[in-house]
Amino acid sequence: MSDELRQGGIAILDFGSQYTQLIARRVREQGVYAEVFPHDAPTSVVYANAPRGIIFSGGPNSIYEAQSPRLAADFDLNAVPILGVCYGMQMIAHLLGGEVTPGETREYGHANITQTQTSRLFDALPTEMPVWMSHGDHVARVPAGFDVLARSSNGLLAAIGDEHRQLYGVQFHPEVKHTPHGIDILHNFIFHICKCQAKWSPKAFIDDAIERIQAQVGDDGQVLLGLSGGVDSAVAGTLIHRAIGDRLTAVFVNTGLLRRGEPEDVVRVFRDQERMNVIAVDATEQFLSALQGITEPEAKRKIIGAEFINVFRTQADKLTNVHYLAQGTIYPDVIESAAGHKSAKTIKSHHNVGGLPPDFKERFELIEPLRDLFKDEVRKVGTALGIPDHIVWRQPFPGPGLGIRCLGHLTWERLETLRAADAIYLEELEKAGLLREGTSQCFAVLLPVKSVGVMGDNRTYEEVLVLRAVTTDDFMTADWAKLPYDLLGRISNRIVNEVKGINRVTYDITSKPPATIEWE
C-alpha cells in the first residue's frame, strides 16, 4: 500500500490484547487505514506515515506489574488524539498522574454504562449503553485536566477524557460486537476527533497495488508465484498478472491432500479463464510416499511443508531470469508470526513470514501485494478483480490440507473417503445458505476410530467422521455453529449412505478455547 493510502490513518499500539487485530479491522471497515505496532515501537516508527490518531489496545497485565508493557521512552502523548482501551486507558491515566487500583469489583462480560458528561467521543449516542467489559484493575482517580465521561452500573469509571488535549480512555471494548454502539464510538474518534478521511476502497487498492508491482519489477522482471487456489494466492496472482502479464509464472502443486475437484478447478480458472501462465504439478505419489506411516500431527506438517518446498524448488530451477518470488501474505500473518517486541507471543509459524529456505531468501526478492490487508479486505479486492465467487469465498484451508484432517495413517483410500464426505457436507451447507452467512469455517475430519454399525441385515465396523463448523470474527476465538438439527440429520444420512467406509457421523460442539478450530 502506497504512502498516500497509508497516511492520515490510525496507528494501534498492541499491549497484548486478543482483540488488537479486531480494532484494526473495525477501523479499516470504515475506509481508514489502520496499522498495528508493538507497544514499545519508537516514535519515529509509529509516526512514519503521519497517523491522525492512535489507539492503545487492551492487555492482560496490571499496570503496576514489573514486566507490564510500557510505551517507548520517547513516545509523545500530545502529538495526535489518543484513545486508550482498557489497559490502554489505565496506561494513559497512570502516565499522566492518575491513580489505577486493583478492582475489588471486577467487571467481565455484559455491563451497562451511563454518560456523566457530554463529549465528542459519545456524540449522538444514548445516555445509557450496553458494553462488553473485561478488566480487574480500574482507574480510581483521573489525571488533571480529565473528566469522567461515563460510569458503569457498579459506579466504576467507564470512560474518561481530556477534550482539550484530545486524550480519551474507555474501560470496555468498543471493537467487539457485544458493545452495540462500539462502532459509533470508534467512528466518532476516527472522524470527529481525528478528522480522518475514508480513502481506502478495493478499487483504490487495486490501482495502487498494480503501480507498486510495476515499479518494483520494472519492465523486464520475471515473477514466480506459488498458487494454492486459496483466496490469498489467487488475489495476489491476479494482481500481479494484471500488472505484468506473461512475466508471471504460477506453480500449482497438487499434493494429493486437496478437496474434491480443487486441482482441476484451479487450472481451469487461472490457466484457462484468466490466461495465467500456470505450471500444474501432480506430486500426489511423492507426498503420500513421504507421509507413509506418519501419524503425529506436527511431523505431518513438517513433512508436507518440506516436500512442498522440494517440488517448488524443482520447478523454480527450471526457470531462468526469475528474480522475484510472490506470496499471498496477509496482515494477520505478519502480526501473528512476529509482533516484533519482547512481550509478543508467536501464535503460529507461518511459511510466508520468515519461513522461506535460506537459498530462496538469497535468490529472490519478495513481492507481497496483500501484506497490508485483512482476509475480508482480500475478498473485497478479489470480487473487484472479477475472480469467481467460489474462489473468493473458498473455505479456509490449512497449508497441509487434508493431511491434518485425516487423522492417523494417510492412505489414498482414506483421503478419498474424507474427500467424498467433505464434499457432501459443504454441498448441503451451501444449499442451506450457510457457507457465507451463519458459519465462518466448516469441514469434515476422518478419525482413525472404528465403531460397530448395522446396514440392512449386516453388521459393519467402519470409521467415524466428525463434522466441524464454527463462527468467529477473527479466528482467535470461535464458537461452534448452531446448525439446524434437520440439516445435520440430512448430512449424516447422505454421508453414511453414499460414502463407503463411514458408518457413524458426529458433530463437534467445542468452542475455541479450549479446543482449536482444526483437530490437528
Q: Look at residue 148 in the predicted model and tell me its pLDDT.
A: 97
Average pLDDT over residues 321-325: 93
Least confident of 165-174, 265-274, 340-349: 340-349
pLDDT at 14 over 90: yes
In tens, the pLDDT along 62-74 reads 888 888 999 999 8
Least confident of 41-50, 114-123, 324-333: 324-333
In tens, the pLDDT along 416-475 reads 999 999 999 999 999 999 998 889 999 999 999 999 998 877 888 999 999 999 998 767
| Mean pLDDT of all residues belonging to the chain | 90
In the set 35, 107, 175, 428, the catalytic residue is: 175
C-alpha cell at position 229: 487456489
Q: How far apart are CA 293 and CA 485, in angstroms?
A: 37
C-alpha cell at position 347: 501464535
Q: Look at residue 66 in the predicted model and tell me its pLDDT.
A: 84
In tens, the pLDDT along 371-418 reads 888 888 899 999 999 999 999 988 888 889 999 999 999 999 999 999
Confirm whether 175 is a catalytic residue.
Answer: yes
User: Any alpha helices (H) in 364-455, and if so which ranges?
Assistant: 375-385, 389-392, 412-431
Give the percent of the chain with pLDDT over 90: 73
Contact 100, 139 (CB under 8 A): yes
- Provide the b/e sequence for 174-205 (b: ≥16 CB within 10 Å): bbbebbebbebbbbbbbbebbebeebbebeeb
Q: Look at residue 19 in the predicted model and tell me its pLDDT.
A: 85
Average pLDDT over residues 13-18: 91
Helices 202-217 and 231-244, interaxial angle, to 10°?
Answer: 60
Give the percent of the chain with pLDDT over 70: 93
In tens, the pLDDT along 509-520 reads 999 989 999 998
Q: Look at residue 336 in the predicted model and tell me its pLDDT.
A: 58
In tens, the pLDDT along 335-370 reads 655 444 444 443 344 445 456 788 888 899 999 999
Confirm whether 86 is a catalytic residue.
Answer: yes
Neighbouring CB atoms inside 10 A of 231's CB total: 24
Write phi, then psi, for 282 (nearest 5 degrees): -90, 100
pLDDT at 168 over 60: yes
Residues sharing a CB contact under 8 Å with residue 41, sequence separation 6 or more, in sequence order: 13, 72, 340, 341
Q: Look at residue 135 in the predicted model and tell me its pLDDT.
A: 67
In tens, the pLDDT along 210-256 reads 999 999 999 999 999 999 888 999 999 999 999 999 999 999 999 99
In the set 173, 181, 187, 241, the catalytic residue is: 173
Q: Look at residue 342 in the predicted model and tell me its pLDDT.
A: 43
Q: Look at residue 105 in the predicted model and tell me its pLDDT.
A: 57
Average pLDDT over residues 61-90: 92
In the set 39, 86, 262, 463, the catalytic residue is: 86
Q: Look at residue 225 in the predicted model and tell me its pLDDT.
A: 95
Confirm whether 336 is a catalytic residue.
Answer: no
Please provide the distance, in angstroms rounded to a whole number, between the alpha carbons at the two ends of the chain: 35
Average pLDDT over residues 96-119: 85
Average pLDDT over residues 115-123: 96
pLDDT at 483 over 90: yes
Q: Look at residue 343 in the predicted model and tell me its pLDDT.
A: 44
Helix (H) or strand (E) holding 463: strand 458-471
Write phi, then psi, for 389 (nearest 5 degrees): -55, -35
Average pLDDT over residues 461-490: 92
Helix (H) or strand (E) holding 279: strand 277-282
Q: Look at residue 387 in the predicted model and tell me its pLDDT.
A: 94
Q: Look at residue 293 in the predicted model and tell me its pLDDT.
A: 94
Q: How far apart are CA 15 and CA 82, in angstroms?
A: 14
